[in-house]
A and B are shown apart, each in its own frame.
Chain A
Amino acid sequence: MNLKTLKLFLLFPVFLCPLLLIAQVQKATLSGYIKDAQSGETLIGASVYISELQTGATSNEYGFYSLSVEPGTYNVEYSYLGFETITKQVELNANTTLSVEMGENVTELVEVVVTSEAEDRNVTNTEMSVNKLSIKTITKVPALLGEVDVIRSIQLLPGVATVGEGATGFNVRGGGVDQNLVLLDEAPVYNSSHLFGFFSVFNPDAVKDVKLYKGGIPARYGGRLSSILDVRMKEGNSKRLAVSGGVGLIFSRLAVEAPIVKDKASFIVAARRSYIDVLAKPFLSGDLGDSKLNFYDLTLKTNYTINEKNRIYLSGYLGRDVFGFGDAAGFNWGNATATFRWNHLFNDRLFSNFTAYYSDYDYQINFGNEATNTFDWDASILNYSLKADMSYYINPNNQLTFGGQAILYEFSPGNAIGVSEGEETNFSLDKKNALEAGIFVENEQKINSRLSLHYGARLSYFNYLGEGTAYEFEETEPGKAKSLVSSRTFDDWESIETYANIEPRASVKYQLNSSTSLKASYNRMAQYIHLISNSTAATPVDVWTPSTNNIKPQVADQYALGVFKNFKDNKYITSAEVYYKDFQNIVDFIDGANLFINELLEAELLNAEGRAYGLELQVEKKKGRFTGWVSYTLARTERKVAGINNDEWFPSRFDQLHNLSVTTFYELNKRVTFSANFVLNSGTPATFPTDRFTQQGYVIPHVASNSRSNVRIPAYHRLDVSATIKGKKKEGKRFESEWVIGVYNVYNRRNPFSIYFRQQEVRPAQGQPINTEAVQLSVIGNFIPSVSYNFKF
């Protein structure tokens, strides 16, 4: 750490002091946890409202709320979407703890009200460019092969795109797939896909809540440019044993949750496994009968409430995709995460959470069934982190959050060992180490009933550490591989390069009237680790690399403006947002770059700038038998790299001018629900050749203008439908079951993923000219029916 950065770090907390002084007036604090009465799960984002004072609070990620007001007697209203609102009369003379359980089992003591403050949160709070999906909604969306999928559901939201069907990850407002911080109970997940990208790694039975930040990102989050996908796992039923599961075409699922000590400790274990290999076995002949093709994941979580002030959580995830062909070849990849968290209440107003996590992504490939000729290759990214977040509920008008995080990374970019006729060759690349740290402070402030602010900053710091060799390169020609000038070796933990960034974040809300507000936000994000991938869809073998002396941290600035309006008593929720985003130091690649097992990889990386702008519209109907949403995005996302596309801007591979999606649900009766969704996207950019030329009998495509992304492939559109039929529930029995029948790609469209050019596949005949052709690749070439069965008790 250089002196300047150190000073910044030390001075940072000083900025907090003036804010802390606000809290000196005599007040009484009402605080506690808000939970689901049936399962004991804490509720995230539930509302607490004191109507006499027209003031309120929201429960945080751990279900905690705190409200400090003048002493008095108040009617306190607790509300949460899908739950019955409850009101309690509270005599608030001193600091009071009041934990509430919400649900259908309301006692006669509480009064049921119809409207609640919570329903217009999208209008009244400062949050913008944020989408929240409950697992209930995600479960209802028609899914490919009936497999409920978090990532695919996110792609139905405005501002979220993908390069195409089956591609891993998602693209938010012009950002690459590596610019999303995907968090599972605070631990980052580096590859969110099973089977290359068809399914995501999150088991819906274990997921409680999904929140996507596309902009106005709070200062407590950092490390990625474009979005935060915060996936929270269920804690496990603390009231009784509950079992749920299902049988689908791809996965079978089973989840068990139960109290360990009633209302104090509980756990959930959820597992899934695919069985394509089991089903395919009878149809595979010979040695292919020994093929392995499966993927599984295991999610566990347990929590223990030590007392009113202390609660601990332990969660873990383990997932793997396994391919194997007898003992001749094998390939597997997967994530593993473990998170330990401790919620501690210093007092009624100061909530803290301490997190320690471990996250690992790795893959292994091996070949050869005789010991004298083998090839083994693996790579990984491993990290450990410590994190502290404090929320100080100063008064109903100010909520201060501050904290810090440190992450230690170990990158294994590639270990390869080949044995050739008994002779071993080691191709392994050096490991790379790095430390990332950040401290932040932010305040949510209500100026008056119309104006609210949320402002803060994050100071981030990155240190690329030895041991290792640092190379210095010299650019010879833009867009071409750089040449090596010198190299220097560093010892263990010796600092090779440091970077620091101040990342200001701010959003403001101005309430025009009770159902309309205007919001604006700005955020600067810095990203210190990069996914090295130059293929259309990222692959499981792509490796992550730290910022080094040659790779600068990526930085993005985003400005967004939005109008939020609700109609008919919050029945219709609408929003319109525009954004502009500017990217610096995006990693790009020379043509034909060698990204694997290449010690001098950095010579083949290019530094790109990017820009993205767009308009996002969303209309959501929240109530009634017919619900759903329509989202539309008009957007442009471009890159500019010296030496590529004649130094001019070109659309990025996931640029889509129009992106429309319609997702609807219709509840016919208590037992039958229909769902449908329709998506229509502009075709993504492609590069088509103009000419061909011949070298040694091979026909090679050529673009005369040397431009990239010179055409667009045809538009993508698709309709999916599904019906959920619940079994008759027997009186007094807890057992519930349902059948889900669906069809993906109903009207059987062959949507293009890409169009490529090739010599005709016949063997070129001597002395004959070669024929060439254009071929359209469709990842899904048919309609895909599905049926699955789910149960719980």
Chain B
Amino acid sequence: MKFKNIFYLFVLLTIFASCEDVIDVELEDGDNQLVVDAWIDNIPDKNQEIILSRTQAYFQSSFPAAETGATVTITEDNGRVYEFVDPDDDGKYIWETTAGESFGRLNGIYTLEITTEAGKRYTAVSTMRRVSPIDSIRLEDREEELGEPAGIYAEFFSRDMPGEGDAYWIKSFKNGEFLNKPEEMNLAWDGAFTPGSGVDGVIFIAPIREFINRVPDEGEEDIAPWEIGDSINLEIHSLNPEAFNFLEQSLTQMTLGDAGIFAEPPANVPTNINSLDVSEPSDNAIGFFNVAAVSTSGRRIEL
């Protein structure tokens, strides 16, 4: 979320005669590039997964083709090697944890190495950065406000660690289900929106604290995000600055329509995957590798 998004709140309420139509568009063919989806975390007892696939035509509504037969490892700066294997041949490469164990250590530097079946090599580096603990999740029974229905709303409290450059991805789960719409993606930089503001060490600012509430689906606009009996769970994942930038830009590109006439130019999002054996453009991989430390908190909503 950028500062500017604040301003869209006003725009949405005023465009009086605009309309949106889903249309048919013909698109050019793509390049069939390797996609690396490697978001590793240190949640205990959790198997870690790296998904390798290929890009697909924009309107192709199926799972992307899996990249099978690759060798995938992550090497820690202390020499430990984590091997990721694909037992089901579905492009999902897994490192199995043993009971009570979690991936990596704080401040560890990790190198991802991939060699595809065709012999092309790819690398990426990420550091497991520190994460702020979650102090509490507060619930509020709210009146109708700013067009949002009356009901239960949640807010979390956490303080950014002193020192600039801490980036976070706050994931919210309702009854175990990840709130996975693009407009629900909640990112923070030093407890505020974006780098460069000089803010540091603050209690996460109000818009971010409250951005853990479920955005209503179509036809449910008058239903509040939480009800009695629901469980709410939060995970804060630490991000490398480049990963923050990747998610921030991905969010912009996925939600260009929300900005209406004020949309930023469409552009490719960055990648931190180095492609070592490029003989033609399609040998360039896209996607991202980030190793996160995670803090968690959860509660059940009771009377």
Contacts and interface: CB of A to CB of B under 8 A. Distances in A.
Interface string A234-274: 00000000000000000000000000000000000000000
B146 interface: yes
Contact of B265 (A196, A416, A591, A700): A591
B63 A688 contact: no
Interface in A33-69: none
A74 interface: no
B232 interface: no
A481 to B, nearest CB: 9
Given A375-B207, A698-B182, A690 B29 contact: yes
A596 B261 contact: no
A700 B194 CA distance: 21
Contacts of A777: 18-20, 257, 260-261
B249 A420 contact: no
Contact of A769 (B17, B61, B262): B61
A99 B195 CA distance: 64
Interface in A688-719: 688-706, 708, 710
Nearest to B287: A695
B23 A535 contact: no
Contacts, number: 303
Given A702-B268, A706-B268, A775 B21 contact: yes
- Which residue among B35, B59, B185, B196 has the maximum number of chain A CB atoms within 10 Å of its CB? B196
B109 interface: no
A326 B143 CA distance: 13
B55 A774 contact: no
Nearest to B150: A286
Contacts of B263: 535-536, 754, 756
B14 A293 contact: yes
Given A420-B203, A776-B23, A328 B146 contact: yes
Contact of B257 (A293, A689, A756): A756
Interface string A597-639: 1111100000000000000000000000000000000000000
Contacts of B14: 195-196, 293, 323
Q: Chain B, interface size: which category?
A: 35 or more
B124 interface: no
A731 interface: no
Given A196-B11, A702-B268, A776 B206 contact: no
Contacts of B261: 163-164, 166-167, 196-197, 535-537, 753-754, 777, 779
B245 to A, nearest CB: 7
Interface stretch (A148-156, A438-446, A559-567, A780-788): A780-788
A-B CB proximity, top 5 nearest: A781-B19, A598-B196, A691-B30, A704-B31, A690-B30
26 contacts: A166-B15, A196-B261, A288-B147, A420-B202, A536-B265, A541-B4, A594-B195, A598-B197, A688-B266, A690-B28, A691-B30, A691-B33, A693-B35, A695-B37, A696-B39, A698-B180, A701-B58, A701-B254, A750-B21, A758-B182, A758-B255, A770-B61, A776-B22, A779-B15, A779-B18, A784-B17
Given A325-B146, A688-B25, A702-B33, 10 more contacts: A368-B206, A373-B206, A421-B203, A536-B262, A594-B196, A598-B195, A705-B31, A763-B181, A776-B22, A778-B21
Interface of B: 2-4, 6-7, 9-11, 13-15, 17-25, 27-31, 33, 35, 37, 39, 51, 53, 55-64, 143-147, 157, 177-178, 180-182, 185, 192-199, 202-207, 209, 217-218, 245, 248-250, 252-257, 259-270, 281-282, 286-288
Interface of A: 163-164, 166-167, 195-197, 286-288, 291, 293, 323, 325-326, 328-329, 331, 365, 367-368, 373, 375, 377, 414, 416, 418, 420-421, 423, 425, 427, 534-537, 539-541, 591-592, 594-601, 653, 686-706, 708, 710, 750, 753-759, 761-764, 766, 769-782, 784
